[in-house]
Amino acid sequence: MSYYLRLFVLFSLALPLAAHADKPRKAPPPLPAAQYASHDTHQQITIAADPGDSKDSAPHTRIDYLAHGFMPIRIIVTNDSSQPLSLDDARILFISADNVTENAATPDDLQRGVFSLKDDVQGKKIPLPGPLPPITHRDKPPDTQIADDDRDFGFKSSTVAPHSTEAGWLYYDIRDLDRDPLKGATIELRKVRWAATNRVLDTFEIRLVPIGSAAPSATNH
């Protein structure tokens, strides 16, 4: 097989793979934070936490994070004040009923938790005609899927403009927690700041309400 024919074969194989690249996905627009069951309000800021603890309530991401032990929780921030709010330094913590504190998973945490080294390294072998050795194809690099999910379902901005709402999905490692990790759990947001003055707001404490529960939301201040 000539050099140019080999290039043509490789190029022809690459075309259908590129055609299956993921298109952007859209998360449903958030409601004002006060309309969610789990929320906390003070200083004209309302922050809600909406767990994706079932197939219907979880985001339609490329990866099923819940099946891999990462609880998706959508954080919704509504700014009813006249000044911008900054989440640049915010710490958004999951605190279980028995006081285990979890930070939101980083992309590296998700990649280690979702993908095994064996799957990542081996990929799929695609045979080529004649004496050519097979090429290795991976359906989608793990970091690309996670980055694409973050682009489509994460926060679009860390600044919440006056009289607006921002939202994004975060993921918390629940693999070592009880079978009902949301029961008695809270989300705490610390170090939320006013963008103009850099002044820190009081901590937001949001008692989580599992989907289908009619329990009241967090305390309003």
pLDDT of residue 123: 53
Number of Cβ within a 10 Å radius of residue 60: 14
Residue 118 has pLDDT above 50, yes or no: no
Give the type of residue at 158. S
Q: Mean pLDDT across the stretch 102-122?
A: 77
pLDDT value of residue 156: 93
Residue 107 backbone dihedrals phi, psi, to 5 degrees: -55, -40
State yes or no: pLDDT of 132 exceeds 80.
no
**pLDDT at position 211:** 63
Q: Which of 36, 95, 35, 70 is nearest to 153 (CA)?
A: 70
Residues in the chain: 221
Task: State the pLDDT at residue 139.
Answer: 54
* Residue 110: per-residue pLDDT: 92
pLDDT digits (tens, 9 = 90+) for 65-108: 999 999 999 999 999 999 999 999 999 999 999 999 999 999 99
CA distance 104 to 155: 13
Look at residues 212, 192, 180, 181 and name the one whose alpha carbon lies nearest to residue 38.
212
Tokens of 178: 């009880």
pTM of the complete model: 0.76
End-to-end CA, the chain: 75
